[in-house]
Structure 1
Amino acid sequence: MIIRAATSADAEAICEIVNWVIRDTLITFASTPKTPAQIHETIAEKGDDYLVAEVDGQVVGHAYYGDFRSGSGYRFTAEHTIHLSPAAHGRGIGRALYLALEQRAVRAGLHVLVAGVSSANPGGVGFHAALGFAEVGRLPEVGHKNGQWLDTILMQKIVSQGGNPHPDNVTEHE
């Protein structure tokens, strides 16, 4: 397994994974499929902080983080996304992707990572708990997909300790 920064050449494979998640699961509340062009745009926006997992030359997962909320007070907190192909589950690939992403987040000056997990995804809750995330809230019935009301479970992990972040690692987001 290789964890590396995504490139535009990965957009099609990532799109297949994302669209499987959208189409066949309740992991995300999204219902509109993504296009390779949309994935390419996200890869370009995130740069080296958009990661893929590759096994035998095939992209089997992706992960990235982005702003948790707008406003400069939230600039040290990010929400992450991680998806795997069906065949990649249970093989340690998600853990490897997340740990590489966390290292990048810490280097970027982030203090907290947040996960918004669908209540229809108990495996996602267990995955995050095993990585040190704590459940900090539940938003009942905020999602609706396939005729079901779904909760969002908020989980967080403090990824850096100490006082104020180093100013060289901080960017303002408004």
Structure 2
Amino acid sequence: MLIRQAGPQDAKAVAEIWNDVIRNSAATFTNLEKTEDGLIADFAAKAADGKTFLVAELDGEVAGFATYAQFRGGPGYRHTMEHTVILSPRAWGRGIGRALMSAIEDHARAGGAHSLFGGVSAENADGIAFHTAIGFKEIARLPEVGRKFDRWMDLVLMQKIL
């Protein structure tokens, strides 16, 4: 396994992994699919903002990714970040998610972040268990704030102090 900075050559693989989750799961509430051009722009914007967008390679292919950005706008939130971590099914249970999150936490901490949030769908029991296992604490449940697949969904906010 190799964790590295995402580049334009990774956009197609990242889009495939992310769009599968968007289309087929309640792990994210959005139904707007990612495009290669949009991801390439996002990779560059993260780097320009001092953040990162990392990919994990397994057997030479992108098997997952993680990134983060400021939790909310404004200078008062500059030390609080929110992350995204998504793996392809072939990467589950191999320690890749942990490795990506460790790298994201290190990068965020080095950039002055104090706190890292994850917004996890309450229907994503594996996502909640994963975050708990790596030291995140559930700090809030927001009832019926997301809507997808013609139903209301709860959002679980999980936080780790870095």
Q: TM-score, normalised by structure 2?
A: 0.96
The correspondence for 2:58, drawn from 55, 58, 62, is 55
Q: CA RMSD in A?
A: 0.8
Match of 2:96 in 1: 93
Is it true that 1:28 corresponds to 2:28 in the alignment?
yes
Give me the whole-angstrom Cα distance separating, in 2, the residues matched to 1:86 and 1:53.
Answer: 13
Q: CA deviation at 1:81?
A: 0.4
Is it true that 1:16 corresponds to 2:36 in the alignment?
no
Give me the whole-angstrom Cα distance separating, in 2, the residues matched to 1:144 and 1:156.
Answer: 23
For structure 1, the residue ranges without an aligned partner over 5 or more in a row are 160-174
Is it true that 1:136 corresponds to 2:139 in the alignment?
yes
For structure 2, the residue ranges without an aligned partner over 5 or more in a row are none
SS at structure 1 position matched to 2:109: helix
Q: Which amino acid aligns with 1:112?
A: S
Is it true that 1:104 corresponds to 2:87 in the alignment?
no
Match of 1:40 in 2: 40
Give me the whole-angstrom Cα distance separating, in 2, the residues matched to 1:41 and 1:25.
Answer: 25
User: Could you tell me the percent identity over the aligned residues?
Assistant: 52
Q: Which amino acid aligns with 1:121?
A: N
Q: CA deviation at 1:74?
A: 0.5
Give me the whole-angstrom Cα distance separating, in 2, the residues matched to 1:57 and 1:87.
Answer: 13
SS at structure 1 position matched to 2:127: helix
Give me the whole-angstrom Cα distance separating, in 2, the residues matched to 1:157 and 1:33.
Answer: 28
Q: Which has the larger radius of gyration?
A: 1
Is it true that 1:126 corresponds to 2:145 in the alignment?
no
Is it true that 1:83 corresponds to 2:98 in the alignment?
no
